[in-house]
Amino acid sequence: MWSRRARLLLGSGLVFAGALLLSPWLGDGLDLTYSGDSFILWQLRLPRVLLASAAGAGLALAGVAFQALLRNPLATPYTLGVSSGSALAIVLFLVAGLDARLGGSLGRPLVGMAGALLVIGITYRAARVRGHLPAPTLLLAGVTLTYVFSALIVAVQYTATPEDAALILRWLVGSVESGLGYLPPAVVGAVLVVALAGLLPLGRAYNALSGGEEAAQGVGVDSARVARRSYFFASILVGSIVAFTGPIGFVGLIVPHCLRLFGAVDNRTLLPAAALAGAGFLAICDGLTRLLFAGRLPVGVVTQLLGGPFFLVLLLREKRRLY
């Protein structure tokens, strides 16, 4: 008899492995005896699938961290303005034409991370009272910043040249088609490894925090330190992902929630399971964009088109079970 933890991790791992093996073959059939098709597989599709996997893992992991800290199943990197903050930083970076000049593609993730950290720093400072971080104030500050940044992004886009505006639009819907080969998956993968090392040991602290900050402090959790550490690692993760893919929504919300429905409430299990399942989910979504929409729709749209109804069905089933 396998323990629940082992079953959940194995299941999530199988989702990821299956997606990794399957996704590159979704879309127009490939004949690898032709060098053109071989190029498509190795230089176009595989980097996409790898970037989708790393980004999906990171967004789901960050989702779990934000949900645990804010004690709110609806929290995501969007909720605290982290996504929109790094998006604004990237948009300014692109419009200023710095992408090509400043170390090319390596400058982008650095700008994205800096934007995310700046935003979380402002939110943190705004919400902190006497060493405490009240979740409602944090949420209010984060949602407010999201509105401000979204308005600024629209302002930049509106006044930009038509070429820049089109570039921004394409990037804002969220796409794993970076056109930069293996560099984006390598960068995001490296940041993901760092973030996993920082966040995976916090499972027990997240569990204790679910009963409230005081209850957690009472059993020995240094809640302020856990919050700082979580925000740091989640921010660099989201910042580096957004830099290459644009803001892809929804992954950080539905992947952890689905896993909780399957019984992964304990954060010691949920953190690694969400990383695996999130990687598999976004890789499959990317394959489906090729299969169903001939690659004409970006994965950010497909994630929400396919994920939304799927999530609603799950919620309805859950409701039937509870009432």
Amino acid at 95: V
**Does 203 interact with another protein (rule: CB under 8 A)?**
yes
Q: Give the 3-state secondary structure of residue 129.
A: strand
**Does 227 interact with another protein (rule: CB under 8 A)?**
no
> If 0-12 CB within 10 Å is exposed, 13-18 middle and 19+ buried, where does residue 312 land?
exposed
Residue matched to tokens 């995001």: 188
Residues in contact with another protein, shown as a per-residue x/- string from 54 to 83 under the rule CB under 8 A: -----------------xxx----------
Cα 98–chain centre separation = 25
**Does 266 interact with another protein (rule: CB under 8 A)?**
yes
Q: Which CB sits closer to another protein, 18 or 212?
A: 212
**Does 219 interact with another protein (rule: CB under 8 A)?**
yes
Options 18, 134, 136, 211; binder of another protein; rule CB under 8 A: 211
Helix, strand, coil percentages for the chain (3-state, nearest 5)? 80, 0, 20
Q: Which CB sits closer to another protein, 188 or 221?
A: 221
Binding region for another protein (CB under 8 A) out of 16-24, 147-155, 201-209, 231-239: 201-209
**Does 163 interact with another protein (rule: CB under 8 A)?**
no
Q: Give the 3-state secondary structure of residue 132.
A: strand
Helix pair 107-127, 223-245: axis angle to 10 deg: 140
CB 63 within 8 A of CB 253: yes
- Angstrom distance (rounded) from CA 102 to CA 110: 11
CB 248 to another protein: min, Å:
24
Binding region for another protein (CB under 8 A) out of 91-99, 154-162, 227-235, 260-268: 260-268
Binding region for another protein (CB under 8 A) out of 53-61, 116-124, 217-225, 276-284: 217-225
Cα 23–chain centre separation = 19
Binding interface with another protein (CB under 8 A):
71-73, 130-131, 201-205, 207-208, 210-212, 214-222, 260, 265-266
